Copies of this chain bind each other. A is one copy, B any other.
């Protein structure tokens, strides 16, 4: 394989990129000036070294002097009774945009796929147990599972519940799931039975 082919292969590993677009990315690199390539390379290296995971919630953030924790974990006004577990950094962003949740987070880093339940290599199970253990004496009362509503999300929920089973039982902590029902834009006619069931159960 030529370096060009190897680079195309690398771009194919970018999320959502197929072989044709990876090829176009490589040609995009070819059209850049020397200065532009230097800048791109420098940015990749800088971001990779400066943007680090928070040691408590594992969100990526740019470290500021001395403190390696992220802005949410450092914020003493957040409610330490609640901790929401999400798959990805972008889920934290989405929930913060919602503007109602004021507790803490933990970014699991991946899902536990239903069809290959042993595949937990991207999932930070050990780190989660450690963070929960640290948060309990600080007042943690509720762990909220906020995964996608699909088979992998449900499997990840089961995996996390099992993982936390012990520490939670002995400390009177409850595990809750995000409420299900009709989303914005939903039409009854096209809603699945499970969603309709939950919409009736959660009516108010």
By a beta-carbon cutoff of 8 Å, the part of chain A in contact with chain B is: 2-4, 6-7, 10, 13-16, 21, 23-30, 32, 34, 37, 39-41, 43-48, 50-51, 60, 62, 86-91, 93-95, 97-101, 144, 146-150, 176-204
- State in angstroms the CA–CA spacing of A21 and B192 once bound together: 18
- Is B149 within 8 A of A178, CB to CB? no
- Is A62 within 8 A of B21, CB to CB? no
28 examples of A-B residue contacts, CB within 8 angstroms: A3-B43, A3-B47, A4-B47, A7-B43, A7-B47, A10-B40, A16-B24, A23-B90, A27-B89, A87-B188, A91-B188, A93-B189, A94-B196, A95-B200, A101-B200, A149-B184, A149-B187, A178-B181, A178-B182, A178-B199, A179-B200, A179-B202, A180-B181, A180-B182, A181-B183, A181-B202, A183-B183, A183-B195
- Find chain B residues with CB under 8 A from A34 CB: 48
- State in angstroms the CA–CA spacing of A29 and B146 once bound together: 25
- State in angstroms the CA–CA spacing of A197 and B98 once bound together: 6
- Is A196 within 8 A of B40, CB to CB? no
Chain B nearest CB, measured from A31 CB (Å) = 8
- State in angstroms the CA–CA spacing of A6 and B50 once bound together: 13
Chain B nearest CB, measured from A48 CB (Å) = 5
- Is B51 within 8 A of A40, CB to CB? no
- State in angstroms the CA–CA spacing of A202 and B200 once bound together: 12
- Is B14 within 8 A of A28, CB to CB? yes
Residue of B nearest to A37 (CB): B48
Chain B nearest CB, measured from A16 CB (Å) = 6
- State in angstroms the CA–CA spacing of A176 and B173 once bound together: 31
- Is B3 within 8 A of A50, CB to CB? yes
- Find chain B residues with CB under 8 A from A191 CB: 94, 183
**Given known contacts A28-B15, A60-B27, A188 and B146 CB-to-CB distance under 8 angstroms:** yes
